[in-house]
């Protein structure tokens, strides 16, 4: 399965993404992780993106497309979970193009949905230096500005499904599992006519 996982800061996306890739036994394609690893390794890619990561700015769509395309062709031939990607409509279009070329379109775009008030409470309890109230509000606003167009894009393609992210980690994961099962159950088997 190819799944895009989207969630605001503080929604618990990291934990749930890890559990989901373990369950489905698919690679976790986190562009943030890949870029951080490149910076750490001081590779040419790392050198070119370091200032964007340091400044919390988006890396260019062209660089991201290259990174994702290479990864898709390495260990993601039978599916993966996209985390932190796509972040722009251009990236979403590139992803469609890559997957259509492989004749393996996206199965699901999963939104982990948590009300702002709950996010603010959770984030301010984390005690990170970048978790001041104004910063938290900025991060939430930035997320909304960034993802709203993506939601529209995927809603139009009937791929967007929302999961209630409020509750214990197990409760939320059970909801995610149910959703994935439903999507798997309704997908036509490979090779069968649609």
* Binding interface with ligand AMP (CB under 6 A): 31-32, 35, 52-53, 56-59, 64, 84-85, 87, 91
Nearest approach in angstroms of CB 63 to ligand AMP is 8
156: left (phi over 0), alpha (psi -120 to 50) or beta: alpha
Judged by CB, which is closer to ligand AMP: 66, or 157?
66
Contacts 24+ apart (CB under 8 A), 58-65: 58/87, 58/88, 59/35, 61/88, 61/90, 61/91, 61/94, 64/31, 64/91, 64/94, 65/91, 65/94
Q: Which is nearer to ligand AMP, 35 or 140 (CB)?
A: 35
Nearer to ligand AMP, 51 or 182 (CB): 51
Q: Do 92 and 150 meet the contact criterion of CB atoms below 8 Å apart?
A: yes
Instruction: State in angstroms the smallest separation of the CB of 192 from ligand AMP.
Output: 33
Least distance between ligand AMP and beta carbon 23 (Å): 21
Distance of closest approach, residue 68 Cβ to ligand AMP, in angstroms: 8
Q: For ligand AMP, which residue has the nearest CB?
A: 32
Q: Which is nearer to ligand AMP, 146 or 187 (CB)?
A: 146
Q: Cβ of residue 26: shortest distance to ligand AMP, in angstroms?
A: 18
Tell me whether residue 52 or residue 175 sits nearer to ligand AMP (CB atom).
52
CA distance linking residue 107 with residue 74, whole number of Å? 20
| Helix locations, 29-132, DSSP H | 31-41, 44-55, 61-74, 89-101, 116-124
Number of DSSP helices (H) and strands (E) in the chain, helices first: 8, 5
């Amino acid at each position: 399965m190819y799944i895009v996982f989207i969630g605001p800061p503080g929604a618990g996306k990291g934990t749930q993404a890890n559990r989901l890739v373990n369950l489905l036994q698919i690679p976790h394609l986190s562009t943030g992780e890949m870029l951080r690893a490149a910076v750490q390794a001081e590779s040419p890619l790392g050198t070119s993106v370091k200032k964007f990561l340091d400044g919390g700015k988006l890396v260019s769509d062209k660089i991201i497309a290259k990174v994702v395309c290479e990864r898709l062709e390495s260990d993601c031939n039978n599916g993966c979970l996209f985390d932190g990607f796509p972040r722009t409509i251009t990236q979403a279009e590139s992803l469609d193009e890559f997957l259509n070329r492989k004749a393996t379109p996206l199965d699901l775009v999963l939104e982990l949905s948590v009300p702002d008030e709950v996010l603010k409470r959770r984030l301010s309890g984390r005690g990170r230096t970048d978790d001041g109230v104004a910063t938290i509000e900025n991060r939430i606003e930035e997320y909304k500005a960034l993802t709203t167009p993506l939601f529209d894009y995927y809603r139009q393609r009937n791929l967007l499904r929302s999961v209630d992210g409020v509750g214990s980690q197990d409760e939320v994961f059970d909801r995610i599992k149910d959703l994935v099962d439903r999507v798997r159950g309704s997908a036509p088997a490979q090779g069968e006519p649609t």
